[in-house]
Amino acid sequence: MNNIIVIGSTGQIGSELTMILRKIYSGGTVVAGYIPGAEPRGALLESGPAEVADVRDARQLAAIVDKYHIDTIYNLAALLSAVAERKPLMAWDIQMNGLLNILEIAREKGCAVFTPSSIGSFGPETPHMNTPQDTIQRPTSMYGVTKVATELLSNYYHSKYGLDTRSVRFPGLISYTTLPGGGTTDYAVDIYYAAVRGEEFVCPIAAGTYMDMMYMPDALRAAIEIMEADPARLKHRNAFNIASMSFDPEILACAVRKEIPGFRMRYEVDPVRQAIADSWPDKMDDSCARQEWGWAPQYDLAAMTSDMILNLKKKLFSL
């Protein structure tokens, strides 16, 4: 990788991934792709080039790839699960028509492509415990439908045209930097903000609802390591299960209370997000990622909680 574009560079993953890629690949170019209304600011804007890059505008994307001699495309453009249920047609347009534009441009210009999948690509019939790498995927959300289709289309472009497409199935991602945008797992971010502010947290996901979760530093490292992996070792491509921790709201609240003893939580279950969460795995088996490209998480729940609370205190109270 040398000249990279991050499409969706101001989102939950993109805002941090762009900065890390610019540090690692300082000899090359890392373009921050964004859409009007979600402009890069601060260090993200000042540390490298930025271009309007709407995945639904193939001409615009192709011009950027030519201008910067892009060799790798991180395609992070997506509506997250709960938003996608409110706007299913827009989600399909961005996630599928946009992906087709990207794959066609990459095929013509020889770019590698990373388009994340998710635990959302699984459905009620998928084994919930130790979810296998290769298993039934019949998601019941529009977000999940687009993620399974993303995996299949990305694999198709690899097998038919030899395109270098690779990806991972992200768990719910937790970060203190950029707020998430309407996901089912976002309660696991919101809880930390409420705890640090000394507020009671109203949890939209029911006790006993286990989901795979991951701290953002591990997720960012996975997105980079998969693209740097030796292609000869890869038996899979789109997309690898990657896991680090699995918990329900009660376990998370207990971890928060160890750092903030007075923390209080009550439940007001959101039926839309609860139905989505119930259809997702409890815990994935990520042995293929470990064997084929050396995946290994570095953060557990205690380490993540300590780091989240420390950094949110700095962010919210300028400590």
* Residues identified as active-site: 143
Query: What is the torsion angle, in degrees rounded to the nearest 10, for the CA atoms of residue 146, residue 151, residue 154 and residue 156?
Result: -110
Binding to ligand VAH (CB under 6 A): which residues in 169-188? 170-173, 180, 183-185
x/- track of binding to ligand VAH for residues 58-97 (CB under 6 A)? ----------------------xx----------------
Between 81 and 115, name the residue whose CB sits nearer to ligand VAH: 81
Q: Nearest to ligand VAH by Cβ — which residue?
A: 183
Between 29 and 121, name the residue whose CB sits nearer to ligand VAH: 121
Q: How far apart are CA 232 and CA 27, in angstroms?
A: 26
CB of 81 to ligand VAH, least distance (A): 3
CB of 8 to ligand VAH, least distance (A): 13
Sequence-ordered list of residues with C-beta below 8 angstroms from that of 8, at least 6 positions apart, any chain: 14, 33, 34, 75, 76, 77, 78
CB of 284 to ligand VAH, least distance (A): 10
CB of 4 to ligand VAH, least distance (A): 22
- Reference 154, options 64, 84, 238; nearest CA is 238
- Reference 214, options 160, 260, 169, 167; nearest CA is 169
Binding to ligand VAH (CB under 6 A): which residues in 139-168? 143
213 half-sphere exposure, CB direction, 13 A CA radius: 26
Can residue 119 be called a binding residue for ligand VAH (CB under 6 A)? yes
Angle at 17 between CA 289 and CA 219, to 5 degrees: 30
